[in-house]
Amino acid sequence: MSVTTDSSIADLLARGGQPTMSFEFFPPKDDAGQEQLVRAVGELEPLRPDFVSVTYGASGSTRSRTLDAARTITTQAGFRTMGHLTCVSQSRAEVEGAIASYADAGIRHILAVRGDPPGGPTAPWQAHPEGLPNATELVRLVKAAGDFCIGVAAFPDAHADRKDFDLDARILAEKEAAGASFAITQLFFDTDAYFRLVERVRALGCRLPILAGIQPVTNLAQIERFATFSGAPLPGPLVSSLHAVAEDPAAVRAVGLEFATTFCDRLLAGGAPGLHFFTLNRSKATAEILANLRATSSAEAP
């Protein structure tokens, strides 16, 4: 079963109506990972996402695998597919080569992000001597390279290396001016942080649709590691609930999925134009959250 991919993500968002639903995958490292990706795509295919995205390793280290994964997903399921692109540790010429590779593969959507330094998101940023200084310049380069629909990153909890909410809002507005059509947030766990971000950028006249990036909580150690790495604090009540059942993986998963369902429901009720699930190349948690949301919506319908 395939989906119609003629319309761009920007077109879908401009139409309004139902919020978009999308999934993020990462390129597999080996045959086992490839099998896992294919399985996850197949299991999520019936949900008919509006688009999917494939991540891109630091310094372009997974560029060829990203392209291969994007081709696999598009061929297998016919999804509208977006490739990620960073400017970490790459020259301008290397970035231009990656853009050309996406175009040759028929991929017309690019998520243009600066990317984290090799030392992690809080390490000092240092541009490649022949590279691009930031994500705004990357957006300009992609925009000039062809007919691409460009997404960018947004940070409800502020970018980890600066923690300046107002600066983040101004940068997001600059990305829009440079040619971006929509944004996807980094993972976060506080709906109010998302709505404050939207308010800040709207106050600057920035109209970018901001999709909410959703990280399902199914493993306590993993989600605590992600939260620390990204600078997105976990809510105290959630942490308490998870630690209360820490010795029972099934209970941890149940608590996490209940939180995610309520979290997504509040975002949609507040006007979020879409949900973008970080699947980690797994399907079950994402599918269950979406089923819970559909059940909640049906229960509340008149």
Beta strands in 66-135 (DSSP E): 81-85, 109-112
Kind and range of the H or E run holding 144: helix 135-145
Q: Is the dihedral of CA 46, 47, 51, 57 positive or negative?
A: negative
d(CA 174, CA 177): 5
* Residue 3 burial (CB count, 10 A): 13
Exposure string (b/e) for 103-139, b if CB count within 10 Å is 16 or more? eebebbbbbbbbbbbeeeebeebebbeebbeebbbbb
Q: How many angstroms separate the Cα of 102 from the Cα of each of 30, 111, 145? A: 22, 12, 11
- Ranges assigned E (strand) in 186-265: 210-214
Which residues participate in catalysis according to the annotation? 24
Angle, alpha carbons 10-13-18 (nearest 5°): 155
